Structure 1
C-alpha cells in the first residue's frame, strides 16, 4: 500500500512540532543538546518549533496523510557568481540566526547555538541542491518504510530536474537508510564536542 503525502499548511504547524518533538526526543543529537532529560522534555519542543517555523518561512514541509511522518525541505540556490565552483563546505556566515534561536529556545544553553553553527559550516556551497533538514517518524511507526516513502517524491524530482540533494544523518540507522537511497558520506563528519557525530551526505541526481 502506498503512503499518502500532502504538503503541510500553516494550520498543521503545532502538529508538526509535536511530531518532531516525539520523533527526536531520544535522538543522540537531541540528547547532546539537552543532556538533562527533564530539561530536554521542557525545552526540546521549542527547538523543533524554531526549525518548523524556519522551514515554513523558507522551505516546505511534507506530511504523511496519516500523520505518522514529516519531512522538512529547503531548496538551496547555487552561488550565482561561481557556477562552476566545486562542491565544498561553507566558510561560515555572519548570520545571527543561531544566536537568535538560542535566545528564543534556551538562552543559557550554548549547545543550541553551537550545533547550528557547526552544521552550517559543514553545509556544501557552490551548487544548487535540495536540503533535507529533518525527517521524523513517530516512534511507534518506525521501521515501516515511512521515511523512504516520504523522501521518494522529492528525490524523484531531483532526478528529473538534475538536482543534487544533501542532508546530515544523526545516527547509524538513518545513515544506512540514506545510503540505500543513493546518498554518500562527504568524508568529513561533524563531531559534536564530547558528543555524537553527524554525517553530512550528498546525493547526485540518478539517471532515469
Structure 2
C-alpha cells in the first residue's frame, strides 16, 4: 500500500511543528543551535513552528495522511529569491532567543552556500517522527516532488544535516555541491543538488 500524501494548511500548523520538533530534537544541527538540552527542549519547538509559518506562507508543506512525516518546500527563483532571508533569521533570533547568535548564523551560513542562477525546488526540511523512521516515508515525500521536477525539468536542492540523511538523498539522485559546510565548532552540513532527468 502506497504512502498517502496531502498538502498541509494552517490547520496543520501544530501537527507539523510538533512533528519537526520530535524529528530534529537529536539532530546534529539542532544540537549545535541549541547545545543546552533544556534550552533545546523549550526553544527548539518554537523555532520549528516559526519555520512552518514561513513555509505555509511562502511555499508548500506536504504531510503524510497519518501525520507521521512532513516536508517543507520552497520554490526558488533563478536570482536566488528573497534577499531578506538573512534578515528573517535575525528577526527569528530576536523573537525566539535574542542571546543565541546561532539561530541567525545558521541562516547566514546556509544562504552563503545556496546555489543561484537557476530556478529550483528547495527542500528546506523533512521530518519523520522517530518511531517511524526507516519505513520509506521520507523517500515517498521527496519522491513525489522529484517526479514533478523531472517532468518539468526543474532541479532540486537541499542541505543534509546528518550522514544518514545524506545517504538517503544520494540514493534519490542528489550530489554534493562543491564541499560540505562546516558549522563553526559544530557538525557538517552537506549542500546537495539534483538535476532533473526524464530517464529517472
The normalised TM-score by structure 1 is: 0.92
2:57 equivalent in structure 1: 57
Matched, 1:194 2:185: yes
In structure 2, relative to structure 1, the CA distance for the partners of 1:12 and 1:75 (3 Å cut) is same
1:131 equivalent in structure 2: 122
Matched, 1:103 2:71: no
Distance 1:166 1:110 in 2: 25
**Which of the residues 155, 164, 176 maps onto 2:155?**
164
Length, aligned pairs only: 198
Distance 1:61 1:122 in 2: 23
1:43 equivalent in structure 2: 43
1:141 equivalent in structure 2: 132
SS in 2 for 1:74: strand
Distance 2:90 2:58 in 1: 18
Matched, 1:20 2:20: yes
CA contact (8 A) 2:73 2:121 kept: yes
The normalised TM-score by structure 2 is: 0.96
Provide the alpha-carbon RMSD of the alignment: 1.5
Deviations 1:128-182 (A, max 9, x none): 0000000000000000010001111100000000000000000000000000000
1:85 equivalent in structure 2: none
SS in 1 for 2:39: helix
Deviation of the 1:196 alpha carbon: 0.1
Consecutive unaligned residues of structure 2, counting only runs of 5 or more, are none
Distance 1:112 1:165 in 2: 24
Distance 2:179 2:84 in 1: 19
